[in-house]
Amino acid sequence: MTELGGTVAELRRRTFSFGRNWRSFSRFVSEDTIREAEDDVRRWLGPDGVAGKRVIDVGCGSGIHSAAIFRLGPLELLTIDLDPHSVECARRLWEVAGKPANWRIQCADILDFDKLQTFGQFDVVYSWGVLHHTGHMWTAVENATRLAKPQDGRLWISLYTKGPSYDHHLKVKRRFNSWPWPMKQAYVWRYLFHCWRGARRHGIKLSQWFWQGRGMNAYHDAMDWFGGLPYEVASAEEVVDFLTRRGWKTERVQEEHEEKCSIYLFSR
């Protein structure tokens, strides 16, 4: 479902810039952050899951996972994102890696399949927390599957989990996006203070609470959540059914509660 009317171009004009948020976060990227991302890839794909493979990162965000995947020895890595700020973040990490020839970075839209076809097909298609922000989630998922090789291709994606509060969350996001920047800042910091008070009562240290997993901190995660439009959701059953009917086998599902992303690994 598309929660905002209009064409894709109109949708994009009215959305939050995930890339600007990632660019703001990128100054905190450290060696430890990238190593944690490497561990995440190994846990899901195995120690040699990308070695010698063609891999595409669809919607690279900060570029951290592309950097981690590159370190694990792919034959070729293609990093794409629609937001030029995210492309800029990835290119900075590419430069730090020595500008390798087998890691390419392009500004591209997962909904533009004519351009996607020029990239060829990949052994591993990775897209974390992206496809539900396109305005046409199921088309985006379908296009991601078409990027995978028909034999032995793997699809590793995450999508926001469906729950009863979707309509309320959508209203909150729309309202947040209508505010001026200072008001957004005040709202986010008030929200974070409330969350930190609750975490502290449970004995959680500030550093542990603020620095979250998968290359994100509490502030940028909150900005991403409140600002994130377009916004769609899916149940694990819907995702598995959608891909099973297209010939994919479920390897692993980590189902999360509403407001979080469930993670899926498929193969064929």
Q: Tell me the C-alpha distance between 27 and 218, whole Å.
A: 15
Q: Would you give the distance in Å from CA 31 to the centre of its chain?
A: 20
The span from the CA of 182 to the CA of 30, in Å, is: 28
* Assigned CATH topology for domain 8-163+231-267: Rossmann fold (3.40.50)
pLDDT digits (tens, 9 = 90+) for 137-186: 999 999 999 999 999 999 999 999 999 999 999 999 999 999 999 999 99
pLDDT tens-digit profile of 196-243?
888 888 888 888 788 765 667 899 889 989 999 999 999 999 999 999
- Is the confidence at residue 40, as pLDDT, over 90? yes
Write out the two tokens for 11. Answer: 């949708």
pLDDT of residue 39: 95
Across the range 237-260, mean pLDDT stands at 97
Mean residue pLDDT of the chain comes to: 90
Question: In this structure, what DSSP letter does residue 133 have?
Answer: G
pLDDT for 214 equals 60
Rounded to the nearest 10 degrees, the angle between the axes of helix 218-227 and helix 18-26 is 170
Kindly write down the DSSP assignment for every residue of 45-95, as one continuous string: H-TTSSTTSEEEEES-TTSHHHHHHHHT--SEEEEEESSHHHHHHHHHHHH
Is the pTM higher than 0.85? The answer reads yes
Domain spans in the chain, listed from the N-terminal domain onward: 8-163+231-267, 166-227
- Residue 211 and residue 204 in contact, taking contact as beta carbons nearer than 8 Å: no
Written as six digits, the tokens of 89 are: 């973040």
d(CA 211, CA 178): 28
Q: Which residues contact 109 (CB under 8 A, 6 or more apart)?
A: 82, 115
Q: Is the pLDDT of residue 263 over 70?
A: yes
Residues 147, 173: Cα–Cα separation, whole Å: 31
Full DSSP string of 167-203? HHHHHHHHHHHHS-HHHHHHHHHHHHHHHHHHHHHTT
Per-residue model confidence (pLDDT) at position 144: 98
